[in-house]
Amino acid sequence: MRALRTIMAGFVLVCLSPFMAALLANLIAFAAGCDFDIGLAHACIVGGRDIGGALQALGSISYATFFTVPLLILALIVWGIAEVIQRLRRAGGRHLARI
């Protein structure tokens, strides 16, 4: 069960990574005092370099959430079912040990 939990936790992180990438791009733009838009690269000078294109590309990854969120929901349902089955097995085993 530990392996399943590790795999599912990793899968959840992968599914949430597009959202986290967009959030990171927005936070960097906010901290630099720049405008941020997913559809258009605005000039954003940080340390003498324009990172507006990189921020726009990082933010554009958020479009992948249209695919990853349904997978995340499905994974959480499967994970929940696996946890319930595991708890029922443990409870059944204790009940049988008393007899």
pLDDT in tens, 12-63: 999 999 999 999 999 999 999 998 888 888 888 888 899 999 999 988 998 9
Distance CA 92, CA 87 (A): 8
CA distance 90 to 27: 45
User: Residue 63: in which H helix or E strand, if any?
Assistant: none
In one-letter notation, the amino acid at residue 49 is R
Helix axes 2-32, 52-60, angle to 10 degrees: 150
pLDDT at 2 over 50: yes
Instruction: Give 97 or 79, the one with higher predicted confidence.
Output: 79
Number of residues that this document lists for the chain: 99
Instruction: Please state the pTM of the whole predicted model.
Output: 0.73
**Beta strand segments in 24-95, E:** 45-46, 49-50
- For residue 61, give its domain range: 2-98
Number of domains in the chain: 1
Structure tokens at 73: 């929901």
Residue 99: per-residue pLDDT? 47
